[in-house]
């Protein structure tokens, strides 16, 4: 592979709309963009490039499934290192989410825990050579946020009943004045509910995209700094930002899962509420 091709693949997004709409955005190459560059976007290479966010999202699902399988196939009373790691993560997430939701929220812990792990691994996947962070694609983050939104609304209707759900949406009026303000509160609460998936998706998308662009820019600068030597490598200026990206990836996954937990908490019936 020529040096020119390597630099182009390392520092530029594919020119044919790679990653579902990332034209012009600096991006570290992955296996899909590499194949697309070699085959000039023809045939299946172009299809994979267009749907690379979906491809890598399913690849993360496969990684999680394999990890879960190998950690649970030989379960023992005295756990091994892998089983012990998984049990620590599961117990930590269980206690964390249950501390917010209370005993009535135990049903939602598997969903929220899986959501956190899935998002975190997708976030850091782009730091692995040849891989891509699917959460740097707005379509993926919006799909995740919509899943949370639908499940939260379904939970609110199922746990409270349709009438009480609408009563909550109207601001839980109890006095005459509050009932008079209900026609105003209802659309405000509806807009607030609809804004939640938008804010969830944009926050995650923006932060992960920022990480990827920052690292890609410093990779390009590192390569350019040694361009006079005609080498296909450069100064690893991006290495310090990888550790920062791991931290922010963890924080963003936690924020997404935490806000989702709070949304569930707000929908669940609470003791002492006015009937």
Chain segment 219-274, per-residue pLDDT in tens: 888 878 777 777 667 777 888 889 999 999 999 999 999 999 999 998 887 655 54
Assigned domain for 272 exists: no
Chain segment 180-232, per-residue pLDDT in tens: 888 888 888 889 889 999 999 999 999 999 988 888 888 888 878 777 777 66
Token pair in block for residue 180: 């008079």
Assigned domain for 274 exists: no
Assigned domain for 275 exists: no
Assigned domain for 226 exists: yes
Chain segment 93-128, per-residue pLDDT in tens: 999 999 999 888 889 999 999 999 999 999 999 898
Q: How far apart are CA 100 and CA 264, in angstroms?
A: 10
Taking CA 271 as the corner, what is the angle to CA 265 and CA 273, rounded to the nearest 5 degrees?
95
Assigned domain for 73 exists: yes
Assigned domain for 273 exists: no
Assigned domain for 34 exists: yes
pLDDT for the residue 237: 80
Chain segment 48-94, per-residue pLDDT in tens: 888 999 999 999 999 999 988 888 887 777 777 788 888 899 999 99
Q: Domain of 202?
A: 3-267
Number of domains in the chain: 1
Assigned domain for 90 exists: yes
pTM of structure: 0.85
């Amino acid at each position: 592979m020529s040096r020119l091709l390597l630099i182009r693949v390392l520092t530029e997004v594919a020119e044919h709309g790679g990653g579902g709409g990332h034209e012009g955005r600096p991006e570290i190459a992955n296996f899909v963009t590499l194949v697309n560059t070699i085959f000039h976007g023809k045939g299946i290479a172009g299809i994979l490039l267009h749907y690379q966010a979906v491809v890598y999202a399913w690849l993360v699902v496969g990684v999680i499934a394999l990890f879960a399988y190998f950690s649970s196939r030989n379960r023992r009373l005295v756990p091994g290192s892998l089983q012990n790691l998984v049990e620590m993560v599961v117990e930590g997430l269980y206690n964390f989410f249950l501390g917010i939701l209370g005993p009535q929220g135990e049903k939602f812990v598997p969903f929220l825990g899986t959501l956190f792990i899935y998002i975190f691994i997708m976030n850091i996947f782009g730091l692995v050579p040849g891989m891509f962070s699917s959460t740097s694609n707005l379509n993926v983050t919006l799909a995740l946020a919509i899943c949370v939104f639908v499940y939260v609304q379904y939970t609110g209707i199922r746990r409270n009943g349709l009438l009480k759900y609408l009563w909550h949406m109207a601001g839980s009026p109890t006095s005459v004045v509050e009932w008079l303000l209900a026609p105003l509160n209802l659309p405000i609460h509806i807009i607030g509910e609809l804004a939640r998936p938008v804010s969830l998706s944009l926050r995650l998308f923006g932060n992960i995209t920022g990480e990827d662009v920052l690292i890609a820019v410093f990779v390009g600068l590192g390569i350019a700094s040694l361009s006079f030597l005609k080498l296909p490598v450069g100064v690893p200026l991006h290495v310090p930002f990888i550790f920062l990206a791991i931290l922010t990836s963890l924080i963003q996954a936690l924020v997404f899962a935490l806000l989702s937990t709070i949304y569930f908490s707000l929908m669940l019936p609470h003791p002492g509420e006015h009937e």
